[in-house]
């Protein structure tokens, strides 16, 4: 088995991810500043683009404080779980089709797992362990509350998330992410790309809302809710370990956006590309670019939503999850099933 190819891919993905996260932190701060009629970081480097780098350097040099009564091994372990899980989710996401590089055809994904979606679902639910353990091992009431909230929130939203994915699976007929993207490159009525956002609009909405809850972004960032819980699960973290939580949060955001793009927005498929007589090499380049643009668009949406909606109250969050999202996702699944059964 060729070991070099996956290794190169791993290194590439890690490097690209970290650069992306740095850019993402910068752009989020800048955009939020613009939204609030401020200027935002503009001192470090041209237009302040190196601000996040400076922040990382600062975090690296800070003292790592562990509370006296904390459970040290688990306190150390929690951020590693968080970041490891967040990073490894990206392994199964196809960022492009097949590309010919150095005389070899290379699949533009790290691992073509035939149960890709199950893998993603499993890993995103693993992520909660990082947060919950961080909250519990810190031995502080704020952290514990943050961790508990996080687990309750993830359990409530995982259901609607899973159910809305099932609708997509019914249409695509496969659990393989590449297969789902392939299924979306067809056309409805000859002109509308058969993206799942058009075929499964309800599932798209429930999935996006659940994704907000899964990534702990506003309006569902109750696990860290600064005004109530100081910092939530990472109150007792400092230095590099805090940085890892921060990093995993942003990696989660990138991964969630990539999943949304793959499942609902056609993944790397470019509509009408096959009519343009392009060489295979150009097409695969355009595919990668399309994937990046789509993902960036979704990330931008996440950022803008963060500065638009206020945080939910805890009972409202639970109400929304169990009384609204779950029935809607379930009904959507039943309707999709009936329609598919009627037409096949």
Q: Which of 59, 105, 32, 116 lies closest to 241, judged by CA?
A: 59
- By CB under 8 A, tell whether 308 contacts other proteins: yes
Stretch that binds other proteins, among 6-14, 32-40, 115-123, 336-344 (CB under 8 A): 32-40
Integer CA distances (angstroms), 306 to 31, 32, 264, 270, 299, in order: 11, 9, 21, 29, 11
Stretch that binds other proteins, among 7-15, 37-45, 64-72, 325-333 (CB under 8 A): 37-45
Q: Is 44 within 8 Å of 221 (Cβ atoms)? A: no
Residues 175-234 that bind other proteins (CB under 8 A): 205
H or E stretch covering 92: none
193 pairs with which residues across the strands?
187
Closest CB to other proteins among residues 118, 296: 296
- By CB under 8 A, tell whether 34 contacts other proteins: yes
Residues 267-306 that bind other proteins (CB under 8 A): 301, 304-305
Tell the smallest beta-carbon distance from residue 207 to other proteins (Å). Answer: 13
C-alpha 50/C-alpha 56 separation (Å) is 10
**Given 31, 66, 74, 99, the residue binding other proteins (CB under 8 A):** 31
- By CB under 8 A, tell whether 141 contacts other proteins: no
Q: What is the dihedral of CA 286, 289, 290, 294, to 10 degrees?
A: 180
Stretch that binds other proteins, among 64-72, 240-248, 290-298, 307-315 (CB under 8 A): 307-315
Q: Taking the CB of residue 246, how many other CB atoms lie within 10 A of it?
A: 20
Tell the smallest beta-carbon distance from residue 37 to other proteins (Å). Answer: 5
C-alpha 197/C-alpha 164 separation (Å) is 12
How many residues bind other proteins, per CB under 8 A?
A: 14
Binding site for other proteins (CB under 8 A): 31, 34-39, 205, 301, 304-305, 307-309
């Amino acid at each position: 088995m060729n070991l070099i190819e996956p290794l190169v891919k791993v290194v590439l993905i890690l490097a690209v991810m970290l650069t992306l996260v740095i850019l993402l932190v910068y752009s989020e701060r800048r955009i939020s500043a613009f939204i609030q009629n401020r200027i935002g970081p503009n001192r470090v480097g041209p237009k302040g683009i190196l601000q996040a780098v400076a922040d990382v350097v600062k975090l690296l040099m800070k003292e790592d404080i562990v509370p006296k009564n904390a459970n040290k091994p688990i306190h150390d372990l929690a951020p590693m779980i968080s970041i490891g899980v967040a990073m490894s989710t990206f392994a199964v996401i196809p960022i492009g089709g097949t590309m010919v590089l150095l005389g070899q055809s290379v699949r533009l994904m790290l691992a073509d797992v035939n149960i890709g979606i199950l893998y993603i679902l499993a890993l995103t639910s693993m992520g909660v362990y990082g947060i919950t353990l961080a909250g519990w091992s810190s031995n502080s009431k704020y952290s514990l509350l943050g961790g508990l909230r996080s687990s309750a929130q993830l359990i409530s939203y995982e259901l609607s998330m899973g159910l809305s994915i099932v609708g997509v699976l019914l249409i695509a007929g496969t659990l393989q992410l590449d297969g789902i993207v392939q299924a979306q490159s067809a056309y409805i009525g000859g002109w509308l790309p058969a993206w799942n956002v058009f075929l499964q609009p309800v599932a798209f909405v429930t999935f996006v809302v659940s994704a907000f809850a899964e990534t702990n972004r506003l309006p569902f960032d109750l696990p860290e809710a600064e005004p109530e819980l100081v910092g939530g699960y990472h109150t007792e973290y400092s230095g590099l370990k805090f940085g890892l939580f921060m990093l995993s949060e942003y990696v989660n955001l990138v991964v969630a956006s990539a999943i949304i793009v793959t499942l609902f927005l056609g993944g790397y498929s470019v509509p009408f590309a096959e009519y343009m007589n392009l060489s295979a090499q150009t097409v695969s380049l355009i595919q990668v670019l399309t994937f990046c643009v789509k993902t960036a668009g979704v990330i931008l949406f996440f950022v803008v939503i963060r500065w638009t909606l206020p945080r939910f109250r805890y009972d409202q969050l639970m109400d929304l999850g169990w009384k609204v999202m779950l029935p809607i996702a379930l009904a959507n699944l039943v309707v999709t099933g009936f329609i598919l059964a009627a037409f096949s």
